[in-house]
Amino acid sequence: MISHIALPVFLAAATALASPSSTDSYAPYYVDCPEDIQLVRQPRSTSLAESEWVHGRQAQMVDSLGRYLENLDLADFNTAEYMRRVRADVDYSVPVIGWANSGGGWRAAMTGVGGLQAIDERTAGAREAKVGGLFQILTYIAGLSGGSWPVSSPVFHDYEPISEMIADWQVDVDRFTDADDDDYFEVIVEKYTAGFNISVSDFLGRAFATQVIPGVNRTWSSIPELPGFKNFSGPFPILVASSINTSSPVEDGLYVPSWDAPWYEWNPFEFGSWAAGFVPTKYVGTVPNENNTAEKCVENLDQASFVLGSVASAWNYWYLEAVSNDTLGTFSKRDGGVAKRDSYIDELVELVDEVFSEYFNYTVSQISNPSIPNAFNPDENLTFADGSEAGQSIPFLPLIQPERKVDFIYVLAKAHGLPFPEVPPVREMLARNYTLKPVLFGCNTNLTTTRDATSPIVAYFANAPYSWYSNYSWSTTNMSSAEANGVLQNSFNLLTQGNGTLDSTWTDCLGCAAIDRSLARVGMQRSQACEQCFQEHCWDGTLTAGVSDDFVLDPSLALDPSLSYAEWSEQHPDMD
């Protein structure tokens, strides 16, 4: 329950803070722009800085790739020969692998980070289970909404072992009720006083960051200075959000994103979109003049907490759900149908609205989505919306930009004419149990939008119960360590198919998929064993009758099917 948001202290803070300019501040501030800076870059390619970083990462990954493949020991495949050819031209040959973490609030965060823990070679049992080491060969990691936590946290933790990072999250602490809410509002007021838009996302972002970003006041543009990022120890993080503007559809007085609205991405070097262009992340919030430069540049608007809030800005939907009794504001990440009313969220909506209206005289529409000065269109601020509201609960877009040349994507959880595998409709996914067990898409290049190898192969892992019912409400804000371990263990079992007990060829098949697109580049053939496992684990492009209209997905534990949800709940009374 939400007990307090202490208003009087907050009011005092609002009047006390006049000119925030310190570097350890949440508030953005102005500096002299570097001479000759060109702010907006046309989106023709990835930035030079990203290309150079990826070059470094690919070189750093070669040994990890060799270790992973040796451990996997794929049947009827000459690993030594493959590695010899890869080493001969690392930039061209090392597979480019991305991890896409879907949205879904706390549930997505915990399931996703459990997946990362499973594929981290430093996790006990991960190498034995044949998935450990995949983290070490990821080039990119992308996320949105709650999926932004597992994406932001590792880099700010200097890519320390994922299990240690999770321990640092202290998941048993509720960052909304156990923390001192005043702190969140005090820093938001600093931003307000500095003349920038503030919204509920600033508030939520502070709470999220307190959990997952060590030190909290960190910026995305400082990532390139971090030792772990500098020595290429982990994947390149990207977060994405959709957007709204004054032409967006309106529901009950609030803008909602349309499915064709522009998407924006944050990465350590740049912020922007593949439609409008990119600006240096360090100077986000600076509006360029006619010469694409400026005298004063905004800094510090790229606070990690604000970035987390900006990609999880679903307040408009929470509010719509609350006022419409669940008839408006349906997320693409929900299972469909009318969601169970969530009294926690209702309460939070009411309290936060109250604070913002009482102390800023802001209306709900003014606070529901965050905006920043727009480098791409000076006439209108750029306003973020949660990507899950715009038909995409999985952040594919940044990973399938042809410029990033991604070969293989892991997805925990359709694109715009970009190279991507064809995926079957939901009815077919359900009929084939792809919502209960992992599946690969696009192994056959004919089953991709481009009909060639420019499309990555995608591994899709639906969050399903293996050893634990991990379908918590997305609005969960904390859990006991026993619950957290249950969820993390469930992700381990999902990734490894119960250490192979449910499917003895799956982990080999993941390895086959990881290197498949690179085989052609080094002039080698897909092995018979990989061909065989693709037959088994890749969607073959055909459609069956699908499921019937009255189909209900009500799975039992894959590793203990006799234990019904009702019985399990009785054994775990604290978890509902």
Question: Please, what is the minimum distance in Å from the beta carbon of residue 409 to ligand NAG?
Answer: 19
For ligand NAG, which is the closer residue by CB, 363 or 528?
363
Q: What is the DSSP letter of 113?
A: H
- Between CA 326 and CA 309 the distance in angstroms is 23
Question: Please, what is the minimum distance in Å from the beta carbon of residue 114 to ligand NAG?
Answer: 12
Applying CB under 6 A, the residues found at the interface with ligand NAG are 24-26, 125, 129, 158, 187, 190, 196-197, 215-217, 227-228, 231, 233, 243, 245, 247-248, 258, 260-262, 289-291, 325, 361, 363, 366, 371, 373, 377, 379-381, 383, 432-433, 444-446, 469, 471, 473, 492-493, 498-499, 501, 554-555, 559, 565
Q: Residue 441 in 3-state DSSP?
A: strand
For ligand NAG, which is the closer residue by CB, 500 or 529?
500
Question: Please, what is the minimum distance in Å from the beta carbon of residue 183 to ligand NAG?
Answer: 7
For ligand NAG, which is the closer residue by CB, 80 or 363?
363
Q: How many CA atoms lie within 13 A of 252 on its CB side?
A: 16
Is the CB of residue 255 less than 8 Å from the CB of residue 248?
A: yes
Q: How many CA atoms lie within 13 A of 425 on its CB side?
A: 6
For residue 32, the cross-strand partners are 296
Q: Residue 143 in 3-state DSSP?
A: strand
Question: Please, what is the minimum distance in Å from the beta carbon of residue 83 to ligand NAG?
Answer: 19
Question: Please, what is the minimum distance in Å from the beta carbon of residue 371 to ligand NAG?
Answer: 4
Identify which of 314, 444, 329, 432 has the alpha carbon closest to the alpha carbon of residue 384.
Answer: 314
Is the CB of residue 422 less than 8 Å from the CB of residue 447?
A: yes
Tokens encoding 427: 């009815």
For ligand NAG, which is the closer residue by CB, 43 or 228?
228
For ligand NAG, which is the closer residue by CB, 80 or 414?
414
Question: Please, what is the minimum distance in Å from the beta carbon of residue 230 to ligand NAG?
Answer: 7
For ligand NAG, which is the closer residue by CB, 245 or 478?
245
Question: Please, what is the minimum distance in Å from the beta carbon of residue 471 to ligand NAG?
Answer: 4
For ligand NAG, which is the closer residue by CB, 80 or 427?
427
What DSSP string runs through 246-263? TTS-EETTEE---TTSPP
- Between CA 562 and CA 78 the distance in angstroms is 42
Q: What is the largest CA-CA distance in the chain?
A: 71
Please give the distance of CA 231 from its chain centroid, rounded to a whole number.
Answer: 23
Place of tokens 């939907």: 317
Tokens encoding 460: 């899709």
- Between CA 86 and CA 28 the distance in angstroms is 45
- Between CA 196 and CA 372 the distance in angstroms is 7
Is the CB of residue 462 less than 8 Å from the CB of residue 470?
A: no
What DSSP string runs through 208-222? HHHHHSTTS--BGGG
- Between CA 302 and CA 307 the distance in angstroms is 6
For ligand NAG, which is the closer residue by CB, 80 or 553?
553
Residue 570: in which H helix or E strand, if any? Answer: helix 565-571
Q: Residue 567 in 3-state DSSP?
A: helix
Tokens encoding 316: 């408009």
For ligand NAG, which is the closer residue by CB, 96 or 187?
187
Question: Please, what is the minimum distance in Å from the beta carbon of residue 291 to ligand NAG?
Answer: 4
For ligand NAG, which is the closer residue by CB, 176 or 469?
469
Amino acid identity of 329? G
Question: Please, what is the minimum distance in Å from the beta carbon of residue 184 to ligand NAG?
Answer: 10
For ligand NAG, which is the closer residue by CB, 148 or 445?
445
Residue nearest to ligand NAG (CB): 125
Question: Please, what is the minimum distance in Å from the beta carbon of residue 532 to ligand NAG?
Answer: 15
Question: Please, what is the minimum distance in Å from the beta carbon of residue 109 to ligand NAG?
Answer: 16
Cβ neighbourhood burial of 49 (10 Å; 0-12, 13-18, 19+) = middle
For ligand NAG, which is the closer residue by CB, 80 or 271?
271
Question: Please, what is the minimum distance in Å from the beta carbon of residue 113 to ligand NAG?
Answer: 16
- Between CA 467 and CA 556 the distance in angstroms is 9
- Between CA 188 and CA 197 the distance in angstroms is 10
Question: Please, what is the minimum distance in Å from the beta carbon of residue 129 to ligand NAG?
Answer: 5
For ligand NAG, which is the closer residue by CB, 217 or 281?
217
Tokens encoding 248: 């967006």
Contact residues for 247 (Cβ-Cβ < 8 A; gap 6+): none
For ligand NAG, which is the closer residue by CB, 42 or 446?
446
- Between CA 318 and CA 158 the distance in angstroms is 34
Question: Please, what is the minimum distance in Å from the beta carbon of residue 125 to ligand NAG?
Answer: 3
